[in-house]
Structures are given as structure tokens and as C-alpha cells.
Structure 1
């Protein structure tokens, strides 16, 4: 098993770097369409053996390869024995897409890993190509959330892909409340250092006993899927973990109270959390994740921690 070498995120100071690795474009493989064309090419999420034969042919036939990180994509092309001009098109440089398409009309786009256009800037390139009346083709191939969904053992008949949750604020809390109410499975991405906090937030919104799974390092040497309740997973991953993370959360069970039909007893929940040793700040955030207004959550959290004793109360 061969793993794609990891790289540091692109340095903000190089955000306007133009082109690198100006190799020859080669000849157009038989069977590929003539004229301007954009291909979105999935790349392995870990094991380099997951690249498809068709993906290799498209990369060989393109005028250039656009990517998020020229170092990471350069390592992949080198492994495949392909020399092409590499153009950086990430969130900081996607404004250059029209100029890149003009210079390299037959363009292949790859993300750092997986299928471009899913939780990365690839969708913006597609929009630019459509605006320029350039045909776009998306190759099937590697992606992280589908294997993680199947590995979870949860219902795959219907699911919602959340991507990355907002990091904080009202939008995050609104998304958590919506996720908790869904009857279908939810799939989301998370960074290693935020995993523990997100699992705790999910447990607060969905309930501690909601089944879920955490999958990391898909197709790599240390691939791991851990299944359990949200509370169990939150405790296991309190200190975070390394690797790319996919979290899968079961939908609301048929017998579980519908939040629209049965308003939760926020005061009783706040008291229970305080008895578990959660701080006033934690309780406030959990209540807000359930849709309570900040001032109301603040007052309930203070009252609950005061009743539980001084060890549970902390200053905001």
C-alpha cells in the first residue's frame, strides 16, 4: 500500500504564484474529444493504486493540470510518470480561472484528494468553464464520504452530505439542530483538531445515544472506523486524532421525539448536564445548539450550575 505524501497547506504568501513545472503537454490520446475541454479528475484519498486508468489518460492528454497544491499534485504526477504544466487554482487564486482556461484550453483539474468540486474550489472552475461555453466532464473515481458511509453500518438508503459544518456561531447551531431532526443519515467532514468538539456538539444536539461512526485515513496504512454512540465517540476523540476525518450520524429514529412536535425540557437538560460536571459555558452552547436564544441559554446555564454547586459553575 502506497500513501500519498502529506504536505503543508499552501503558504498564503505564494497565493499569486502563476505556473510551475512547465513540462511538455504531450499528444492527445485517442478517444478524447477535440477542442477546449475541462476534466475534473478524482485522485486517490490515500492509496495511490486507486487512480483509474482513464484518469491517467486524461492527465496525459491535457494541456495542463490545475490543482489546489502544486507540491502535492506534483508528487502524484511524478509517481505516475506524467510531466505537465501545473497551475495553482485554490480558494485564493480561483479568480485566475478564466485566464488559465484561455492559456490552457484543455485543462484537467484535481483536488488534493478525492473528487474535485466536493468541499473544494472545483465548483468555481466548473462555473467559469460553463460561462466560457467550454464542455466540462467529471470522471468517476475516489471520494471519501461514500466508503465511510458504507463502513458506518448505518442506513445508506437516504443520506444528506453536510460537508464541513460552520466553525461557530448561529449558522453552526442552526445546522446542528437541522441535522438532529433529519430521519436520514448525515455525513460530514471534520478536521482532526476539531473532531472532539464537533462530536460533543452533535451529542448535545442529537442526544448522547445517537449511533454514529468516525472513519479516518481511508485506504491508508492506518485506516480506522470506530462505531458507537455520539457520547462514546466524543469521549474517545476528546484529544483529537490525525488524518482525514469523515463522521457519519444516524438519522432520528421513528420513536424519537420530533423537535417540532415536542419541545425539549431545556431546564431539566441543563440540570442533567450540570450534574455530569459540564461547565456553564458548555451548557450554554449545548442549549443554543438546540435552538435556544443566547440570553435564555445563558440564564438557564447559570441557574443549573449554581444549583449543582461551585465546581460546575465557571465565568463566561
Structure 2
């Protein structure tokens, strides 16, 4: 008989969000694999759970997974927790879960809070579908790839960001031409100083020019706007008359004044030039 891996969600700030089921599982398993044992000991002490823990984090994920799989094969039941929220969501755990699948080891998820989902439902944006990117990363290549995905997404995008990188990320979004997009920024969700602010990306940049970012942030960005979605590419412009170009936007339901402005922008000419052609 092999053991079972329990993937356990824990509070993201407010300890009252700890579920009864999560408490029961943590008390009953043989071992808890925690992202940071120094952090998780506070949670276990609060709920009076004297359970043995081992470290399972991004720097030892492969080696630790091998040891945990061996214990599971011996019949031990193990709970996997992160510092906060659901394991694997921008946190370690994917290597262990994949190994369990490959070795036919049973798993059970114990749902818990998730900062990204909480931020999304507070955002006021479309929640029917969304793109979750977690942290954009620190390398320029990863950041550019993430910005491109946000630009092209026709659904809301959810990001995580730390206080010392928030301003840099907002400025990168604006520089990429997304400053007009609406977004919400939530911080310290479920905690004492929880706050969500709303506005365009450019407006958020102005907001944080006067304030020092504090706490962990969830950024929710609206998907591609109707005007962006109907924009004609440079390749499509070749051989297309200005009249037909304008007709494209009018057929999309864009008012004539805005349509003419977009045609001028696409072609790199003045709005007056467009007007002179279509009104002659």
C-alpha cells in the first residue's frame, strides 16, 4: 500500500480562512512538506499541530521530490503546503505532482485561498476567462514575452508583483503601449490593510509616483479592447485603399471620428490626410 499526497491550500493572510478539512489533514498525515519550514511553523503552532516538516522549495525541488516519492511508496501520507495559498500556483510542487502521476501514487487536493482569484473577482473586469501569468520574471526576455502575451490576450490577465518591482512593471506595461488599458491593483488581500485601487495603467503609475509600494500585489489587466482587436496590421495595409481601411473600422462599429484617427495611426499619416481622401 502506497501513501497519499495531499495538496493543501493554506491562508494567504487571515488565519480564519484555514478550512476544517485542511486542519484535519495536517493533523493526520505522517509528514508535511513545506516551502519554508520557518514560516510554516508559525501556522502549525497557531493551530497546535505538532507535526514533523521537511523543506520543499524551488532550490531543492528535484532532490526533495525523489525523497518524498520514496516515503510515499513506503506507505506514508504527506501533505504539501506553500508559504501561503495553493501550492504549485507560482510556488513549488509541480515536480512532485508529476512524479506522483508517473508512479501511480494517489493524490488529493484540499482547496484553499488563492490571491490571484481573489484579486480577479475584486477587479471589476471580465472574469469569464482569464490568463494567469504569475510573476513576469526578472530577465528581459521573459518580461518581453510576458508583455507580448498580455498585449495579445483578449481576456483579463492576472499578475503577481512584489513591492520593490511594482513600479518597474507598470512602466514596462506603459512603454509597451498598454498604458490605456484598465486594471486593478490589490494588495495585502485578506489582511488588515487590504486595498484595491482602480484605473488605467498610466493612472496607476501616477498614483505610485506619490506613494511607496508596500505589501504583495495582484495586478489584473483588461484584455484587448475592441479598438485594438480590430486594428489592421502593416501587412494587411499594403494594397488597401484609405477608403476600404476606414470602412473596416466603421464595420466594427467604431465611430467615424475615431475610425479616421485609427486609420491615420495605422498608416503613419495625419488625420487631415485621411479626411481629405474620404471627404473629397
- TM-score where L is the length of structure 2: 0.77
Correspondence 1:233-248 to 2 at 5 A = 233-238=204-209, 240-248=212-220
**What is the Cα deviation at residue 206 of structure 1?**
4.1
The 1-side partners of 2:47 and 2:232 are apart by 54
The 2-side partners of 1:259 and 1:173 are apart by 21
Correspondence 1:93-112 to 2 at 5 A = 93-94=60-61, 95-103=63-71, 105-112=76-83
Q: Does the Cα contact within 8 Å between 1:181 and 1:258 map onto a contact in 2?
A: no
Picking from 100, 112, 115, the partner of 2:86 is 115
3-state SS, counterpart of residue 198 of structure 2: strand
Question: Where do 5+ consecutive residues of structure 2 fail to align?
Answer: 236-280
Query: For residue 252 of structure 1, what is the aligned residue in structure 2?
Result: 224
The structure whose residues are more often helix, as a share, is 2
Instruction: Quote the RMSD (CA, aligned, Å).
Output: 1.8
The 1-side partners of 2:216 and 2:231 are apart by 32
Residues 61-92 of structure 1, C-alpha deviations (whole Å, 9 max, x = no match): 10011011111111001111111101001011
Residues 104-157 of structure 1, C-alpha deviations (whole Å, 9 max, x = no match): 621001000000011111111111222332111111111101110010111111
Correspondence 1:263-282 to 2 at 5 A = none
Residues 285-306 of structure 1, C-alpha deviations (whole Å, 9 max, x = no match): xxxxxxxxxxxxxxxxxxxxxx
Query: For residue 252 of structure 2, what is the aligned residue in structure 1?
Result: none
Residues 30-67 of structure 1, C-alpha deviations (whole Å, 9 max, x = no match): xxxx8500001000000000011110111011001101
Correspondence 1:30-179 to 2 at 5 A = 35-94=2-61, 95-103=63-71, 105-179=76-150
Picking from 160, 166, 173, the partner of 1:202 is 173
Residues 142-189 of structure 1, C-alpha deviations (whole Å, 9 max, x = no match): 110111001011111111001111223233212202211211100011
Query: Structure 1 runs of 4+ off > 3 angstroms?
Result: 257-260
Q: Closer, same or farther in 2 for the Cα pair 1:118/1:260, shift >3 Å? A: farther
Q: Does the Cα contact within 8 Å between 2:11 and 2:113 map onto a contact in 1?
A: yes
3-state SS, counterpart of residue 228 of structure 2: coil
Q: Closer, same or farther in 2 for the Cα pair 1:206/1:39, shift >3 Å? A: farther
Picking from 189, 195, 200, the partner of 1:229 is 200
**What is the Cα deviation at residue 98 of structure 1?**
1.9
3-state SS, counterpart of residue 215 of structure 1: strand
The 2-side partners of 1:149 and 1:206 are apart by 22
The 1-side partners of 2:175 and 2:193 are apart by 30
Q: Does the Cα contact within 8 Å between 1:41 and 1:115 map onto a contact in 2?
A: yes
Query: For residue 153 of structure 2, what is the aligned residue in structure 1?
Result: 182
Q: How many residues align?
A: 230
The 2-side partners of 1:102 and 1:152 are apart by 43
Q: Does the Cα contact within 8 Å between 2:2 and 2:105 map onto a contact in 1?
A: no
The 2-side partners of 1:208 and 1:107 are apart by 46
